[in-house]
Each structure stands twice: as structure tokens, then as C-alpha cells.
Amino acid sequence: MRPHNPMPESRYEVLALFTGAMVGASLSIMGSGALMPFFGAAFHLGQSQLGWILSVQMIGSVGMTAVAGMLTDRFGDKAVVLWSGVIMGLALIAASLVANFTWLLCWLLIYGIGFAAVTPAGSHAIIFFFKPEERGLAMGIRQCGVPFAGALAGVLLPAIALHFHYQAALAICGIITLLACGLASIFYREPVELQGERVSVRAMLIEMVRISRNVRLILLTVASMVLMCAQFALMGFLTLTVIHWGYAVPVAVALFTLAQIAAIAGRLGWGWGSDHLFKGSRAIPLGIIGIATAAIAFGVSSIAAGSPFWLAAALAAGLGFTAEGWLGLSVCAFAEIGGNENAGSALGVGLTWTLVAAFVTPTLFGALAQAHGFPFAWRSLALLEAIGVVPALLASETIARSLSADLAAAEHLVRPE
């Protein structure tokens, strides 16, 4: 079904607009890891307290992602991407104007509320505009906006913080977020089919509860939660871990940036592979990523002062390719389970629980690192990632059975009596 716009736009234009919005909106959260040394110096914080800077941004997202998914189904991508951008941009600008750690956390919490809508608003459109055999790569391209923002933030934000202050870096993030989301909303010509269905809140909640009981969604969500732990450990603590190895701050930031570049390659590569090598399966690649992430996290735990730089760089790149390269697969799988009508709600349910892991990980990982050291924290993460392979494989089996049942039912309907 094609969009019924008087001026239908290219699907690649849609992809570009929402990828740009993703880049702008993700600068702050992805730049938090690169700014951790500056936050620590400004507020004299320990590892556990530094973890709260990332965790608090996820609290708002955890509480609002399901709502954001429903709002996207109700009002459409165009409206939601605009208002979420306004909330995020103004919150970051406000955060740049305060010099108190508590108030900083409060404004980052509000930023997180707006960030909850970044993934649902736009993913809905991609599911509509792209064919099933193209969605993995398309969603991977869009989700590349997150590590691209991380790579950009790794270069831009520390430089701004060094020459001015971390507050100037936050203000720049807020302005870019406002511009990126505003431009996406202005130039996106939304198809009639995606402008939202005017249904009651009660009906939307009933549908969301129904979707949340889907076994495929539950298993994929659990697998995604485990992988999200690795992603936020990378985002929050790779820079500090590299400094712990004995490298200077500029080298640590460079390796963090390298991890983000590798994550871009990972999101493209895993998305293409799920379309072409795994015949549309999103669950099998997630299981492979879990195994690889466990091995690399164990490798990170084994690095010590004096280890060769090439090994540190290889581990940083590998961690980015796996631990941050998977999200497009999960987003695509969640949206496909919901379909055109309920993609936002399915994304809201899956991402809400996935973001719970994002909220818990920085504080817990930071506490483990502070109490037992970074090697112990990374080994614990490696064990968790190995366990997380199980729900991914179970999801693959469940999806295969469901598809077989659907095909059998369709064949029964068309078989002549």
C-alpha cells in the first residue's frame, strides 16, 4: 500500500529526515560518556554518582516510552517528533544554565522524557514506507543516528568542554536537538494512513495490554534488555575504563569515538545481514551478537596497564560493533510484531522494558567498578551477555512456529473444497 499524499515523497527522504532527528536528539545521551571526566571534575563525583548522569536520563524514558508509542499511533510521527524535540532541546538548554548537580539531574530527567519518543516517532514511518525485505537495513541506517551522534559527540563535546565548560556543550546539544527535530517535522509530508487513529485512551490501553502478552515480543524484549546492559556499560564507562588502563583522556575519548564508528558499521551490517543472510530473522542475529559481546567484554576485563594500544583499539571497536550495533534489529522486530496499525504501541512496550535495563546498568555497573574494580564489572557483564543468548534463540524458534502456523492457516483458507 502506497501513501496517499498529494505530493508523495521518496522513502529515502523519510529515512533521511528521521535519521537526522535521531542524530540531533541522541547527542546529549551519547555524549555523556565522553563528558564523564568533566562532570566528575566539576562536581567531585565518584563512579557510582557518575552513573546517575546516564541513569537519570533513562528514568524519564522508562516511564514515558510506552506513552510515546501510544501517542505516535494516536497523533502520528510528525507531531510527536516535533514536541519531543522541543522538550529535549529546552531541557538541555536549561541544564546548561545551572551549576548544581541536583538541578542538572532534574533537567536531564526531563530530557529523558522527551527522548522516550525518539525511536517510536519515525520507526512507524519506516515500517510503512519500506518493504519487509528492506526494513532491517533501513532501520539499521536510522539507528545509525545514535552511534553517529556518539562519534560526533566524542569529537565535538569534549573540545567544547575543554575550551569553555561542560555547560556550553549541553547548550550546543539542546540547540542542535531543536533544529534537527524541528526540520524533520516541517519537511516530513505525513501519509494519511499514518496521521493517527482517533480512538479512545481506553481502547489504546487495551490494545497495548494485548500486544504486551505476545510471547515473541516478551522473548525479544528480554534479549534486548540484556544487550542494552552492554550498550550502556560501553556508553557510560568505556572512557573511564580506558583511563584506568593508564591512557590519557584524549586517547580514551578517541577510543570511545572509534567504538561509535564501529557501532555505525555494526548497525548497517547486522541490519543488512538480517535481511539477506538470515532471511528476515531478527532474533538469530541478536543471539550471535550476544555471544560475541560476551567474549569481547571478557577481553576488556583482561586488559591491564601496559597492554598494546592495538589490542585496546580492537576491543573498543569490537565492543561498538556488537554491544551497540544491535538496536536496529530489535526496533525492527518490535515494530513488525505490531504491524502498521500498532507499531508504536509494540515499540512502546518492548522499548519500555529495554530502557529499564538502560536505567539500571550505569548505576549498578558503576557501583561494581567502585567496589570491586573495572575488571570484575566487565566480567560480570560478560556472564550476563552469555545468558542472554537463550531468550534470543527461543524467540527465533517461537517466531518460526508462528510463521508456519500462519502459512498453514492461509493455505487452508485458499484450498478449494
What average pLDDT score do residues 318-332 get?
Answer: 88
What average pLDDT score do residues 183-202 get?
Answer: 71
Q: Tell me whether residue 4 is in a domain.
A: no
154 and 256 in contact (C-beta within 8 Å)?
yes
- The closest alpha carbon to 84, from 124, 114, 123, 121, belongs to 114
Range of the domain at 172: 11-414
pLDDT tens sequence across 29-83: 888 777 877 887 788 776 667 777 877 887 777 777 777 777 777 777 888 889 8
Is residue 214 predicted with pLDDT exceeding 50? yes
Q: Tell me whether residue 49 is in a domain.
A: yes
Q: How many domains does the chain have?
A: 1
The pTM of the whole model exceeds 0.75: no
Longest dimension (CA), the chain: 78
Give the position of cell 548544581: 100
Positive or negative, the CA dihedral 294, 247, 264, 161 is: positive
- How distant, in Å, are the alpha carbons of 115, 205, 243, 257, 372 from that of 26? 8, 28, 24, 14, 31
382 and 294 in contact (C-beta within 8 Å)?
yes
Q: Which of 51-55, 68-72, 85-89, 135-139 has the highest mean pLDDT?
A: 85-89
What nine digits make up the cell of 171? 547548550
Report the pLDDT value the prediction gives residue 7, as an integer from 0 to 100.
44
Tell me the one-letter amino acid at 68: A
Is residue 412 predicted with pLDDT exceeding 50? no
Report the pLDDT value the prediction gives residue 200, as an integer from 0 to 100.
55
167 and 97 in contact (C-beta within 8 Å)?
yes
**Where is average pLDDT lowest: 32-36, 107-111, 143-147, 205-209?**
205-209
User: What's the CA gap between 342 and 339, in Å, rounded?
Assistant: 6
Is residue 382 predicted with pLDDT exceeding 90? yes
Report the pLDDT value the prediction gives residue 298, as an integer from 0 to 100.
93
9 and 189 in contact (C-beta within 8 Å)?
yes
Q: Tell me whether residue 2 is in a domain.
A: no
User: What's the CA gap between 317 and 260, in Å, rounded?
Assistant: 8
Report the pLDDT value the prediction gives residue 59, as an integer from 0 to 100.
79
DSSP 267-312: HHHHHHHHHHTSTT-SHHHHHHHHHHHHHHHHHHHH--TT--HHHH
What average pLDDT score do residues 97-114 get?
Answer: 88
Q: Tell me whether residue 6 is in a domain.
A: no
Q: Tell me whether residue 399 is in a domain.
A: yes
Report the pLDDT value the prediction gives residue 197, as an integer from 0 to 100.
60
Q: Tell me whether residue 5 is in a domain.
A: no
- The closest alpha carbon to 344, from 144, 124, 147, 154, belongs to 124
Residue 137's pLDDT band, with cuts at 50, 70 and 90, is confident
The CATH number assigned to the domain holding 129 equals 1.20.1250.20
Report the pLDDT value the prediction gives residue 181, as an integer from 0 to 100.
92
**Where is average pLDDT lowest: 19-23, 139-143, 250-254, 404-408?**
404-408
Residue 9's pLDDT band, with cuts at 50, 70 and 90, is low
pLDDT above 70 covers what percent of the chain? 87
Is residue 361 predicted with pLDDT exceeding 70? yes
Q: Tell me whether residue 67 is in a domain.
A: yes
pLDDT above 90 covers what percent of the chain? 18
Cα separation of the two ends of the chain: 31
- Tell me the Ramachandran region of residue 246: left when phi exceeds 0, alpha when psi lies from -120 to 50, beta otherwise: left
Q: How far is CA 70 from the centre of its chain?
A: 18
Q: Tell me whether residue 195 is in a domain.
A: yes
